[in-house]
Chains A and B, each alone.
Chain A
Amino acid sequence: MMRQVIYALALGVVAAYTFFGWGVIVQIVLAIVAAIAVESAFLSIRNRPIKPSISDGSAILTAVLLAISIPSIAPWWIVVVGVAFAIIFGKQLYGGLGNNPFNPAMLGYAFLLISYPLQMTTWVSEFLSFSQSLDVIFNLISVDGLSGATRLDDVKTQLSLGYLIHELNVYSISQSWINIGFLLGGLYLLARKIITWHIPVAFIAGVLVVSTLLFISNDKIYIPPQFHLVSGATMLAAFFIATDPVSGSTTPKGRLIYGFLMGVLVVVIRVFGGYPDGVAFAVLLMNMIVPLIDYYTQPKVFGK
């Protein structure tokens, strides 16, 4: 199951590769190696069998999700530290897969974003070759000429400087294609019945409802809703992150509430918060209220 999810990520990864170059792939490989190493080490400390845990694919999925989320030119230790934090503090300390209340990848991401904000928000603006990517990631050479902020970040800065929406170029080709890639991958997961429709649909609805309301209220300072759909990590979150079964809600009705509120939070954090994207925080906040949602959304039992 986890393996299928990893395959489904391929399209989005290919899109990211097309725009950012080999760094994307290097980060993923680094993350996977780090995840396997950390997971094995921790399992051996806990005296648990290593093979079944590695082969369930959960550590690798966490690694891939985190690697996709961070900038492709971040120094190598960023992803290693992030993966280690995600696996140790996000999963193993709670007792391993199935017992973690938070989405490990997003916990790792939030940790990195708070601790290393500069490295976490510097994105590359052109395709980098394999050797260029290695240079940037391992030799830590300056990337000033190649880098910049993401479009979400950029728009936010411009808006804060008093520009109006119609004066800005809000669309980003690379972001749109990456999001479409993850959307297609997500549809594959739905078709294979690996995830149910509830969370993605509710999440997208949440994003659309709030962003549309904001846009209607003032179309000069709020980004149009369609832009929210294809920016940042929207599609990745809708199909791959919010649908993590372990830390998410599990009742049908609960999944709708969980997804919808998460979509709402994402836009609220994007628009009013201090960070350009809000997926990680939205996910973590929603993880906290999962027990509450599950308790109050139990289906009606037969004969009651």
Chain B
Amino acid sequence: MLSQSFSGGIVIPNPHPVEIVEIILAPLPDKVVLPLQQRIGDEAIPCVKVGDKVLTGQVIAKTEDHFCVPIHASISGKVVTIDERTIPHKSGLKSKCITIESDGKDQWVEHKGCGTDFLHCDQSTMIEYIQASGIVGLGGAGFPAHAKLEGIQDCHTLIINGTECEPGIMCDDALMQSHPREVIRGVEILLHICGAQRAIIAVEDDKQEALNSLLMYCHNDRISIEQIPTKYTSGAEKLLIKALLGIEAPSGGFAIDMGVVCQNVATTKAIFDAVIDSRPLVSRIVTVTGSGVESPNNFEVRLGASFEHIVSMSNPNDNQHAVRMGGMMMGVDVKDTTVPICKITNCIFVNNALEKPDTQECIRCGTCNQACPVDLLPQQLYWYAKSENTDKAMDYNLSDCIECRCCDYVCPSHIPLAEYFSFAKALYRKNTEDQYRTDIARERFEFREYRLERNKQERTKMMAAKKEELKKKMANDKSQKDKIAAAMARVEKTKKKKDDAQ
């Protein structure tokens, strides 16, 4: 058990605890909707047409962008539409999606990976399998796994993040309890890829069953399992590294800068599947919880199934609901439960719709700076964010805010601080971009002025030179004239002489 940790953070007990954390296998959905826009990178281009038959695991869209992974059909059946649909996103964004209607057979494409004896495979082959299988960070960030693993040099420690990112989410806990063998084998694969000396699996101290299951399968002395205090934001990569290793990643830097690679447990299990038998990622474990459902639980569900598909299995009550993807803290509100489950959907919160308490004035009580896990002063930032004084806010390290909303949670005046900060960040970006543009325009203008001035000067110089030349020429001409005149005079003279002689 670790005593050290980062400062700040808040302890929030699971608002809707369950007695036994388990995984319920959700039935195959009748249809799936698969968005082509992934978390980062370009939109994928479909390689199937409407009416095509597809198999489970078949690639249906891909891009040239190296940061992206291909998109696989998550059920077998027929492509019925390729059109714009609402996806789970903060802004209710629409994106191009491929809709597949199930034939109910779930026929898989053939796939074959390194096999259980994976050590004979080299790292790049494994990474290819990981990319081809569509593995992205399943903790909620959705960062492509292969991109984190490529070109690693000097990695000393591999950290496997088994902490739930937020209170209420249980999907990683459930995964560790149900698939401990796959997780441990996945860690061994990752050790092989990263070349790290050791791996640490971080498990929160209230997840005793998960710890026990992992310990039962962990017989590798390079892998250790550490318990860390159950505190919100310990799932954040840099803060977890601080809690485990006592080192702070530099502001603006990455974990790998310090020789650490971090992967989530669910991602690790998916990597195991990808490397061992090149099995594409077509399903994930999703927690359904909240005050609006009677029986919170975890479901293993095909990607692209609607939220409704598993919410309906959790006995929702008849009240008006507010639906949220991700946790109670950093999740995003979605309009309704028709949106599809995607790779980053770790949790669906279905809450009874409640009115938010009225916001009051900030009284600078400083509770927020005690809660801030990165030691910012939210009360000062709020002051500057509210008055749109972004330069001053940057002075107070606005850019280091991880928008974890700990400050919102503890604020006695119910001020949505993180929203102000995210707004101020966007404003700062816009201002600096505008500034950049005006700078460019000014430079262009100044260069033009300079060029005109230079041309003018060159022209005057040239004119002067020409004039000089002309003058010289004229001067020369004068001597010529003189010569001619002299010659003429001579001719005249001789003529005269001749005349005189005659």
Residues in chain A within 8 A of chain B (CB atoms): 1, 52, 56, 58, 96-99, 196, 245-246, 248, 250-252, 255, 294, 298-304
Asked if A97 and B361 make an inter-chain contact with CB atoms under 8 angstroms apart, the answer reads yes
Cα-based distance from A94 to B396 in the complex (angstroms): 24
Cα-based distance from A52 to B238 in the complex (angstroms): 41
Asked if A294 and B251 make an inter-chain contact with CB atoms under 8 angstroms apart, the answer reads no
Closest residue of chain B to A198, judged by CB?
A: B366
- B44 on the A face (CB < 8 A): no
- B263 on the A face (CB < 8 A): no
Closest residue of chain A to B380, judged by CB?
A: A294
CB distance from B173 to the nearest CB of A (A): 27
Asked if A250 and B397 make an inter-chain contact with CB atoms under 8 angstroms apart, the answer reads no
Asked if B251 and A299 make an inter-chain contact with CB atoms under 8 angstroms apart, the answer reads no
CB distance from A7 to the nearest CB of B (A): 17
Asked if B400 and A302 make an inter-chain contact with CB atoms under 8 angstroms apart, the answer reads yes
CB distance from B256 to the nearest CB of A (A): 14
Query: A303-B249, A303-B253 in contact; A246/B374 too (CB < 8 A)?
Result: no
Asked if A98 and B362 make an inter-chain contact with CB atoms under 8 angstroms apart, the answer reads yes
Residues in chain B within 8 A of chain A (CB atoms): 6, 238-239, 242, 248-253, 358, 360-366, 369, 373-377, 379-380, 396-397, 400, 412
Query: Could you show 28 A-B contacts with beta carbons less than 8 Å apart?
Result: A1-B365, A1-B412, A96-B361, A97-B360, A97-B361, A98-B361, A98-B363, A196-B366, A245-B366, A246-B364, A250-B369, A250-B377, A250-B379, A251-B369, A251-B377, A255-B366, A294-B377, A301-B251, A301-B376, A301-B397, A302-B6, A302-B238, A302-B373, A302-B374, A303-B248, A303-B250, A304-B251, A304-B400
Measured between beta carbons, the chain A residues less than 8 angstroms from B369 are: 250-252, 299
CB distance from A285 to the nearest CB of B (A): 19
Asked if B397 and A304 make an inter-chain contact with CB atoms under 8 angstroms apart, the answer reads yes
Cα-based distance from A69 to B432 in the complex (angstroms): 51
CB distance from A272 to the nearest CB of B (A): 32
Cα-based distance from A301 to B238 in the complex (angstroms): 13
Closest residue of chain A to B359, judged by CB?
A: A52
The secondary-structure label for the interface of chain A is: loop
Measured between beta carbons, the chain B residues less than 8 angstroms from A58 are: 363
Cα-based distance from A52 to B357 in the complex (angstroms): 12
Cα-based distance from A302 to B16 in the complex (angstroms): 32
Measured between beta carbons, the chain B residues less than 8 angstroms from A250 are: 364-366, 369, 377, 379-380
Going nearest first, the 9 A-B pairs with the smallest beta carbon separation are A98-B361, A302-B374, A303-B251, A250-B366, A245-B365, A299-B375, A301-B397, A304-B251, A245-B364
CB distance from B237 to the nearest CB of A (A): 12
Query: A300-B375, A302-B375 in contact; A52/B363 too (CB < 8 A)?
Result: no
Measured between beta carbons, the chain A residues less than 8 angstroms from B374 are: 301-303
Cα-based distance from A294 to B377 in the complex (angstroms): 10
Measured between beta carbons, the chain A residues less than 8 angstroms from B249 are: 303
CB distance from B371 to the nearest CB of A (A): 13
Closest residue of chain B to A196, judged by CB?
A: B366
CB distance from A40 to the nearest CB of B (A): 17
Query: A301-B397, A302-B375 in contact; A97/B251 too (CB < 8 A)?
Result: no
Measured between beta carbons, the chain B residues less than 8 angstroms from A300 are: 375
Cα-based distance from A250 to B364 in the complex (angstroms): 7
CB distance from B485 to the nearest CB of A (A): 90
